[in-house]
Amino acid sequence: MRLKVNGKTHDVDVENAMPLLWVLRDELGIMGPKYGCGIAVCGACTVHVNGEPVRSCSLQVGDLKGEVTTIEGLGSPETMHVVQAAWMQHQVAQCGYCQSGQIMAAAALLAVNAEPTDQDIDLTMSAHLCRCGTYPRIRLAIKTAAAELRKRKP
């Protein structure tokens, strides 16, 4: 099976039913997406497929149609995505385990909604669980990232 992740093409020998998450983690060694619940309720495994946020724990790799972007493809420590930079600025993470998924969800939201209201942010981010309670800082970071993105656009 052939799949494209973060701009790179990979051939893997896996059954169609294997969730994308485990193809990424155990077959390709891409560890940014996390296993939290396995039933699409926590959001820690969120990646983008053709830019859309997807719960990789619940998407069978045989059903994958499109290019996958994981947090590693969104930005790097040297060249951070604007959402990641906002996460840094507000020091959002505590344990950090859910944050890959939170960041991927926020980036997908801002890609289609440059000026999200609090209600927009609630709607998207309430699908992501954080046991440490970083929600207030996530809200601030999304607003900072949105403002930065608007500044960059003419």
> Quick check: 25 binds another protein (CB under 8 A)?
yes
Per the rule left: phi > 0, alpha: psi between -120 and 50, beta: everything else, 40 is: left
Give 30: exposed, middle or buried? Use CB within 10 Å, 0-12, 13-18, 19+: buried
For residues 114 and 112, what is the distance between their CA atoms, to the nearest angstrom?
A: 6
> Quick check: 10 binds another protein (CB under 8 A)?
no
Shortest spacing between CB 153 and another protein, in angstroms: 23
Geometric angle at alpha carbon 1, from 32 and 54, rounded to 5°: 40
One-character DSSP codes across 53-118:
EEEGGGSBGGG--S-EE-HHHH--SSS--HHHHHHHHTT--SS-TTHHHHHHHHHHHHHH-SS--H
> Quick check: 109 binds another protein (CB under 8 A)?
no
Residue of 3, 5, 22, 48 that binds another protein (CB under 8 A): 22
Candidates 48-56, 80-88, 108-116, 144-152: pick the segment binding another protein (CB under 8 A): 80-88
For residues 59 and 54, what is the distance between their CA atoms, to the nearest angstrom?
A: 8
Shortest spacing between CB 64 and another protein, in angstroms: 15
Report the residue number, 13 or 151, with the smaller CB distance to another protein: 13
> Quick check: 103 binds another protein (CB under 8 A)?
yes
Total residues at the site for another protein (CB under 8 A)? 62
**Residue numbers of the site for another protein (CB under 8 A)?**
14-15, 18-19, 21-22, 25-27, 29, 31-39, 41-42, 44, 70-72, 74-77, 80, 84-85, 87-88, 91-100, 103, 121-123, 125-126, 128-139
